[in-house]
A and B are shown apart, each in its own frame.
Chain A
Amino acid sequence: MSFQAETGILTQVDGSSQIQSQKTKIFCSVTGPIEPKARQELPTQLALEIIVRPSLGVPNTREKLIEDKLRAVFTPLITRYLYPRQLCQITLQILSSGESEQEFTQREVANSINATLLALIDAGIALNSMCAAISLAISSDDKLIMDPNDEQLKAAKSVHVLALELVESSTVVKNVLLLDSYGDFNEKQLFDILEQGEISLLKLGKEIRSIVESKIINSNLIIQK
């Protein structure tokens, strides 16, 4: 899996990123820590508001489920106790889903996770560890496809999203943050996904780190000038 990403592209928010992987294109913005609404406020921790907006039509339950998955991934990742009674607003705008929206969300979920991570780093929100996510598919001839495109998703027997928590400069996997699978698959395939996914996600984690690194080097250059 490879993708192009850019951070710090929006001016009215604290952190932003844009990610493009094949035909999937997503913008992510992070605003926070800011003052929350009374009902969002948590007395000891940072509250998260995650908003996913589809490229076509109005947000509905499909986007709510994506938000739910993102929340599951980022709640343990953010050092939430540092910002009690504050709010972090994460907004994702999908410009192009790169998959058939009626049937799949895998590409959007995986890329949204990566985009959100970059935007959170750009916003300077404290994180406990890194994460990386990828979509996978198992084709009708039982081959594991990393980062499948729309046609491959449609032809697949099962489709998956895997997000892993990475630590120690993205060399060690700490935990499975999310594995979300649909379709027809067995136990062996499940462990295949975890093993193969781990290899690609460690690579991807390094890629994400290098994006962040080059961004920091660039902004340092600007400061020096």
Chain B
Amino acid sequence: MAKEIEISNSESKFLLEALRQNYRLDGRSFSQFRDVKIAFGDEYGDVTIEMGKTKVHCRISCQITQPYEDRPFEGLFLISTENSPMAGPQFENGNNTNEDEVLIARIIEKAVRRSGALDIEGLCIVAGSKCWAVRADVHFLNCDGGFIDASCIAVMAGLLHFRKPDITVHGEQVIMHPVDEREPVPLGILHVPICVTFSFFNPMDTEENIKGDTNAEITIIDATLKEELLRDGVLTVTLNKNREVVQVSKAGGLPMDALSLMECCRKAYAITEEITDKITYVLKKDEKRRNKFADLLTSENARETS
């Protein structure tokens, strides 16, 4: 049964006081993102992201289906983010109507799907009758904050890693070639959006925050679970490497200084660049690992892969 996590008074006071004195419980600086570990599984599109103790798994899959009638030139793309009690007892199975959970799902949806990160026109096979339906299943394994950031990285890394089976189109007939017969093809990725979440804390009272001139609110990047539970406000900025803002989401909470938004975006850009490079690096390494086998196979089998 879903249980809200309760944090003790002394613990919360300690954490806030530490923040006031410029310390975070895990020793990070305020604008330091946790180290992101990306690991790929055996299958294409199987990726596990670890950020500190937060652990997210994403699995991409695809199948041939019929496109929507009003969008005959487009394929289908769906992101599923369902929580289970595995990530923590605060999540209930099969009940994802919790406000935070809905917010996570919406932000990832906007960051990846609505920003056009995946070229859905490229998923069209026969206009109006056949297309690919790509599905990203995000599984939250362990929750220590930063689900939005981690799942966004997981989905993007998964999409970049995924290969769909090669097909041949004969008029209306579509032949899907098994992966062991023809080299599968990657998806068309137009850009790589990365989410960076800022959490705000208010060391003074609310009145000072709204009317005062001090702007003393504390801003930290990539909060852990405890920091998330105690924060007064949150902002998620989604950017890509082309210095484009994909999404800015600030749903209520502590009012923030308008000018500091620019500062946040600037900080987020540096992180975005770093993570994107990391994804590219890990992908290349994985490609090399796989290619070893591919080389062996091609020398055995003289068939040309086109």
Contact = CB atoms under 8 A, between A and B. Distances in A.
A89 interface: yes
A13 B46 contact: no
B37 interface: no
Interface of A: 9-13, 16, 23, 25, 27, 29, 31, 34-37, 40, 49, 51, 53, 55-59, 87, 89, 91, 93, 95-96
18 contacts: A10-B86, A11-B142, A12-B89, A12-B144, A13-B88, A16-B86, A27-B57, A29-B86, A31-B89, A37-B1, A49-B93, A55-B46, A56-B137, A57-B61, A57-B80, A57-B135, A91-B86, A95-B41
B130 interface: no
Contacts of B89: 12-13, 31, 34, 89
Contact of B57 (A29, A35, A36, A95): A95
B3 interface: yes
B31 to A, nearest CB: 25
Nearest to B144: A11
Contacts of B80: 57-58
* Interface size class of chain B, counting residues whose CB lies under 8 Å from the partner chain: 20 to 34
A57 B134 CA distance: 11
Given A11-B53, A12-B143, A57-B137, A95 B85 contact: no
B86 to A, nearest CB: 4
B104 interface: no
A27 B87 CA distance: 11
Interface of B: 1, 3, 41-43, 46, 48, 53, 55, 57, 59, 61, 80, 82, 84-89, 93-94, 135, 137, 139, 141-144
Nearest to B88: A12
Nearest to A56: B61
B51 to A, nearest CB: 13
B82 A29 contact: no
A198 B46 CA distance: 35
Contacts of B93: 49, 51, 91
A91 B59 contact: no
Contact of B141 (A23, A93, A96): A93
Given A10-B142, A23-B42, A55-B59, A93 B86 contact: yes
Contacts of B3: 34-35
Contacts of A56: 59, 61, 135, 137
B57 A89 contact: no
Contacts of B82: 53, 58
B85 A91 contact: yes
Given A40-B1, A57-B135, 17 more contacts: A10-B141, A13-B89, A23-B42, A29-B86, A34-B1, A34-B89, A49-B93, A55-B46, A56-B59, A56-B137, A58-B82, A89-B89, A91-B93, A95-B41, A95-B48, A95-B59, A95-B139
